[in-house]
Amino acid sequence: MSASCFTGGGTWIITPPAPGRFERVLRARPEVALLDLEDSVAAEGKDAARVAALASLCAAPGRRAGVTTGLRINGPGTVHGLKDLAALADCGLRDAVVLVPKVESARDIDLIAQVLDVAGRGLNLWALIETPRALHRLDAVLAAPMLQGVVFGAADYAAATGCRTSSRALWWARSALVAGASAAGIPAVDSPFFELDNPVGLRTESQDARELGFAGKGAVHPDQLPVIREAFCPTADEITSARAIVAAAENAAGDLTRAGGQMVGPPLVAAARGLLARAEQGVLMPSVHQEEAR
């Protein structure tokens, strides 16, 4: 695996580095499994967690049982974040994902890329965008050449702004992140929905995320994954409509035409072809699953 070939697709699982937890996660066969050194670990346990996580990852880096592995480090502006980077550099981890929280500038990514030699080691840097300052500086953050994708952190953003974590309250922030990521040519994944006993709300917010253009949505519990996958997977009606659009465009030889009661031009044709490609490959949109620390 190299930084250039990893697309970030599939299900992501972020799990505490507790004994036996990672192997259990790997057996669930997500696309990406990350050990978490940030929110899942209390301050007094971070040094021990770092040693355990890196020992597990460096023993069998890259893909294990078909799963791409990696690490969520602590914020680069913290003491433990600096310790994480030093340990990562020393252990020589290769072919893995590094998820960086609290990113607020391209310099955060550039510095980590340089320290870890991400290009030479096949590491893939993803940024958590979770503060108002990060959104204010989004264009500059996304200009970091080694950045592979972004994840929206709704809880931290809402705490910083005093708003709620509802889809409506965070509509602008989510839209801005998707637009910026699209302009930079990288994927964006939406924040989890935090109400475990509200499947209707989860479905609504997942559908909102897809409509906004997110490539996937996070989860805080495995039970949420089927709802998220259903929301992001093309429906039978969408596939039928996309086929009609492509067929009409081919018959029109590049001119504007009509399909299913709408005018069809190049942007709609491109979107239809993309949807059909995902459907034919059996590729679901990616969702990120953060396992609850228990």
pLDDT per residue as tens digits for the range 76-95: 989 999 999 999 999 888 88
Report which residue type is found at 34. L
**In this structure, what is the dihedral angle of CA atoms 290, 131, 73, 71, given to the nearest 10 degrees?**
40
Q: Tens digit of pLDDT for each residue in 35-66? A: 999 998 999 999 999 999 998 888 766 667 77
* CA gap 164, 169 in Å, rounded: 6
The span from the CA of 70 to the CA of 58, in Å, is: 10
Q: What is the pLDDT of residue 254?
A: 58
Give the chain's domains with CATH numbers: 11-234+284-290 (3.20.20.60)
Handedness of CA 195, 199, 205, 206 (dihedral sign): positive
Q: For residue 235, is pLDDT > 60?
A: yes
- Measure the CA–CA gap between 42 and 37, rounded to whole angstroms: 9
pLDDT band at residue 1 using 50, 70 and 90 as cut-offs: very low
Decide: helix, strand or coil at residue 229.
helix
Judged by average pLDDT, the poorest of 42-51, 118-127, 195-204, 283-292 is 283-292
Asked if the model's pLDDT at residue 8 lies above 60, the reply is no
Please compute the mean of the pLDDT values over residues 170-193 and round it to a whole number: 93
Can you tell me whether residue 126 is helix, strand or coil? strand
The predicted pLDDT at position 247 comes to: 78
Q: Which of 196, 193, 214 lies closest to 204 in space, CA to CA? A: 193
What global pTM score does this model have?
0.82
